[in-house]
Amino acid sequence: MVAFKGALIDLGGVVYVGTTPLAGAVEAIARLHKAKLPVRFLTNTTRTPFKTLQGQLKRMGLAVAAEELLTPALAARRIIEAEGLQPHFLIHPALHADFKGLAPGKQEAVVIGDAGAKFTYPALNAAFRALNRGATFLALANNRSFRDADGQLSLDAGPFVAALSFASGREPRVLGKPSPDFFEAGLKALGCRAEEAVMIGDDVEGDVAGAMAAGIAGVLVRTGKYETGAEASITPPPTFLAEDLAAAVDWTLSRT
């Protein structure tokens, strides 16, 4: 068995719920840092910009450095900068903060997130026409729906990604979990290979099965959105089932 050289950790439901750190999470992260195991926190948020997320973590007393955070918007920004893209944005208004100060690009791109009320026919049609002209197609997420403020499910980014994909015949690069691209970006940031990394998450599909499909060990925690028996819903089953982040970190550090 290969020793772990890095850890990928989901935030919501693993490190905190709402604005409260989960019991033992602060100490668990401190132990990872003390052991000098490289860590990246992978979150699928497509509504909270990086600076806001950093502020929230700080207020919760969580010692997470800026370079330890990876969001779909940050991953998109890196691709935009690396490939010299000129994006059309179909994203949540708050998220524009993550794309400030980009240099003008040479090649068009469509960057789609959960734009909510900004998903208008003219905006979607402009994105469709850009795709027809050959624009790069980046999706911050591909979720079907989310639990809205009124308690009911509402349309997430995925249906609009599906609409543009159907219309243009083009497939997007999806930047959130469980996209292999997103886990690859996490591995690259950790500086280790898939079999040397562990992913700790509460979402058996998006976090655990997604990571395992990319060759990363998958640890499912019984906090956040975990529901009893979830570990039996994926094949192969999670590499390890942990009570919480503290137990997941114990297991991880015992294998470094």
The residues of the shown chain that bind its own copies, judged by CB under 8 A, are 115-122, 124-125, 128-129, 132, 144-145, 152-156, 158-160, 162-167, 169
By beta-carbon proximity to its own copies, the closer residue of 123 and 234 is 123
Instruction: State in angstroms the smallest separation of the CB of 144 from its own copies.
Output: 5
Residue by residue, DSSP assigns the chain as -PPP-EEEE--BTTTEETTEEPTTHHHHHHHHHHTT--EEEE---SSS-HHHHHHHHHHTT----GGGEE-HHHHHHHHHHHHTEEEEEES-GGGGGGGTTPPPPSEEEEEE---GGG--HHHHHHHHHHHHTT-EEEES---SEEE-TTSSEEE-HHHHHHHHHHHHT-PPEE-STT-HHHHHHHHHHHTS-GGGEEEEES-IIIIIIHHHHTT-EEEEESSTT--TTGGGGSSSPPSEEESSHHHHHHHHHTT-
Instruction: State in angstroms the smallest separation of the CB of 12 from its own copies.
Output: 22
By beta-carbon proximity to its own copies, the closer residue of 116 and 215 is 116
Instruction: State in angstroms the smallest separation of the CB of 168 from its own copies.
Output: 8
Instruction: State in angstroms the smallest separation of the CB of 233 from its own copies.
Output: 17
Paired residues of 39 in beta bridges: 7
Instruction: State in angstroms the smallest separation of the CB of 165 from its own copies.
Output: 8
By beta-carbon proximity to its own copies, the closer residue of 15 and 138 is 138
Q: Of the candidates 201, 249, 200, which has an alpha carbon nearest to the alpha carbon of residue 225?
A: 201
Instruction: State in angstroms the smallest separation of the CB of 108 from its own copies.
Output: 15
By beta-carbon proximity to its own copies, the closer residue of 27 and 148 is 148
By beta-carbon proximity to its own copies, the closer residue of 77 and 92 is 92
Instruction: State in angstroms the smallest separation of the CB of 106 from its own copies.
Output: 22
**Buried b vs exposed e over 59-73: b needs ≥16 C-beta within 10 Å?**
ebebebeeebbbbbb
By beta-carbon proximity to its own copies, the closer residue of 138 and 192 is 138
By beta-carbon proximity to its own copies, the closer residue of 188 and 233 is 233
d(CA 138, CA 102): 16
How many Cβ atoms are within 10 Å of 44's Cβ, its own excluded?
Answer: 22
